Amino acid sequence: MAGSANMNESRRLSKEVLGACRRLRSHLLFLFALYVISFVAGYVAVSASVPFALELRSRLLKAVAGEAPFTTVTDVLRSGNLLLAVALTLLVNLSSGAFFSTTFIGVVPLLGVAGVSLVTFYRGLSLGVVYYAVLSQSPAAFILGAGTLILELGGYVFSGAAGVNLSLSTIFPKRYGVEGRWAAFRKAWGEAARVYLVVVGLLLAGAIWEMVGLFLLLR
């Protein structure tokens, strides 16, 4: 009986998550396209030796090599504590990478959409200029980098869509089948909670993929 109840609960939750994702599909497609466009722009700019792209890459690589939390994760990984490295990576990506930078800013009506879009574009551009060297190093580096990009950026697409949805909820409350703006805002938070099950899953997979790959390359 308990097993059947758990299965029914899992099915119900899966339907709710799928339904929330379907309702946010336009936001998801918009942010996905923005990530692709900005990543390609950064990648092409570095390959063409555009000065601003080379300067941005230099600043970003310097930050990765000498600033927390990057150095903290690297030190933990070099010490051989793979599980802690995965946990730290997930914590950083989920908090600063997803929630605070792409979802929480959605509490600002309408302007939150602009905020999420700017963060998305800059992040895609930054990854494009940095990953130009990563993806061309070796087959192993390409597999590691491509897998990390797909999983982590996938998580950020969903977290950003939740932020856009929050930002628009108080502007267009009738889209949620309610009249009041506060009721629409609360409903949008409920959908964000469901979508975050996908975010956590993708970022966890990304953290495992990235840390295990780096752990093997550093040995």
Q: Note the pLDDT of residue 1.
A: 55
Cα distance between residue 11 and residue 83, in whole Å: 30
Q: Note the pLDDT of residue 211.
A: 96
- Give residue-wise pLDDT tens across range 11-55: 888 999 999 999 999 999 999 999 999 999 999 999 999 999 999
Q: Note the pLDDT of residue 2.
A: 59
Contacts of 213 (CB under 8 A, 6+ apart): 140, 143, 144, 147, 148
> How many CA within 13 A on the CB side of residue 112?
25
CA 146 centroid distance within chain: 14
Q: Note the pLDDT of residue 85.
A: 96
Cα distance between residue 127 and residue 45, in whole Å: 12
Q: pTM of the entire structure?
A: 0.94
- Give residue-wise pLDDT tens across range 131-168: 998 888 888 889 999 999 999 999 999 999 999 999 99
Phi-psi region of 172 (alpha: psi -120 to 50; beta: other; left: phi over 0): beta
How do the domains of the chain map onto residue ranges?
A: 2-218
What pLDDT band is residue 127 in, cutting at 50, 70 and 90? very high
